[in-house]
Each structure stands twice: as C-alpha cells, then as structure tokens.
Structure 1
C-alpha cells in the first residue's frame, strides 16, 4: 500500500530535513567551592549562539526558625533568544535578567555557604556572578550567605554556551539546600 505523497513528504521533512546535530561544547568551567549535596541535572546548551544574560531563582529569607535554601536555579539567556536552565529547586522566585553590556560570558564564580553541621540550617549556594567579554562583572541579587570562591577558568576559545546544576531534591523532613554547585560549558 503506497502512502499519499503529502504524508510521505511530511514524514521525510519532519524526520530528517529539519533535524540538527546536537551541539558540542569545547571545555567545562568548574569552581572548587560547590556544596556537597544533591545530584547533577542535565547539561543544557544554547542551540546556537552563546550566553550573554542570566537570571536566578532565590528563596527569600525564611526567618530564624524556618528552613532557608537561598539559590534554587540559574537561567541563561542565549544570544539567539533561547532561555535554558538545568535542574532547579522548587522554592523562590526568578529575578529579572541581567545582560552583558557587550559580548558574552567567559567565566563564573559561585557564592557558597559551607555545611553548617547537624543542628544549623544549611543553604549551600546563595549567588552566582559572571565575567563578560571585555571584563564587566554581573552579580545576581541574592543573599550574602557564604563566600565567593575563586573564579572559574575562562573560556579559552569561544564563550559560555550552556550549564549544568547540582541540586538537592526536597527532603520532606530535614534540612533543604536546593542548588549546591554549577558547571558551565564553552562553545566555539
């Protein structure tokens, strides 16, 4: 039984002609001060272009008797209009996006609070900052818990084009931390 030409054309076009190969990244940028809790989410890459803006998802301070998580997610705004994010915690609200005045992201730093022990509230990562091509630094608007560690290496060739985040899932009973660590990827 032969398929009608219109169906055959649709199958060929949707299957093969519109498909692009997955994007490859060149290097991985890491920091040494990431938190110990959670699991890594999926690697998410800008389908094309690079990251030149970001937003963060932050839980407001909950008060002394309640559980704080601080940073819950990071979004990257790609030069071609796409918005990408990896694993994200359930608490907090998204900030307004911040963009490089010119150029794209080339390195990052993470503010992380060290584990507080069994009787105090752990928050892990509380903020992120990026260096733009040309040297401008963009820092998220978040808590000042913990300290910024050393900057990651810089993209040698190309710019940041993707991310992967390490997030602790909701604990139910116990101390939640949400986002603990992040990696960023450089593409040519």
Structure 2
C-alpha cells in the first residue's frame, strides 16, 4: 500500500485538510465516503489522524472533493509519497486563478506499476521521461516511453505508469487541475 510520508510522521495534517474541504463543500462523512468508495469508518479515522492515508485513498477522496492531490498533502515542496516500487517527490505546486499545476519527480523501480483512478473532470497529465523506459496507459492506449519522450493525456480517466522489467523509469509528472472560478 502507498503511504503518505510527511515530515511530522503522521497523517494528522492530511486528515485535517480532508475534513476542512469536506465541510466547506457541505458533504457529510457518509456522503464523501460513498463517493470515494471507501468505508465511513476508514474516512473518519483518516480525518482524526488515527490512520495514515494511502495514495490510492487520497486520489479517491480528492476526486469527489474536486481538488488536486496537492490540496490534501503536506503543503511544501519536497514532500514525498512512497508506494511499492514508486517514490514521488513534490517539486512545485503553482496555484493560479482557474487552475492548479502540480509538478512531481517520479521514480518507478524495474517492473513497478502505478495504477491511478480517474482524477477530477478536466484534469490533464504530462510526463517527460528523464531516464529509463516504460509505458503509460490511458484511454485504451499504451504508449512506450524512453529518455526524452513526452506524453500528454486526459487524466480524468483511469491511467497507469509501468517501468520496464529491467530498468527504472524516472520522469517529471505535471498534473494540471482546473479550479472552478467563483
């Protein structure tokens, strides 16, 4: 399971951010849990900091809240997410009227795969491969990746990254999330 790694060593900050966003949107605990496809008890434990969130859970919660992953994470550059065979480091987040742009450095170990659920409507991702080889899958397409390759796709559908069997995949991942104005 993916675990969020925060400097404080706990998911309390993440939980507080989830609760604040849920309440700001007028969603009950039950409603958000149902929309995210997770148990109400699990969501309650996340919000109170009694459970550390997984990356999959954060993506599941971010979509119905209509926020980018960065809105839930420890809000500083350098924050790290660790997943079986994958390390993601937040490089930068730029918040502008109408959109949030997140930039991550991702490293997948040989043969590692990251399957991502659909992000919020209108989210777009780009990958620029720095080293290694692998594939990205989205919308029924499989695109081979190598050093210097760039791919851009709609991320409001399930998608996946996979490193080659014998090589690490290192890439810059840019996620652009439209933010409703007003």
TM-score (norm. length: structure 1):
0.29
Over alpha carbons, which structure has the higher Rg? 1
- Structure with bigger RCO (C-alpha 8 Å, 6+ apart): 1
TM-score normalised over the length of structure 2: 0.30
Normalized per residue, the structure richer in helix is 2
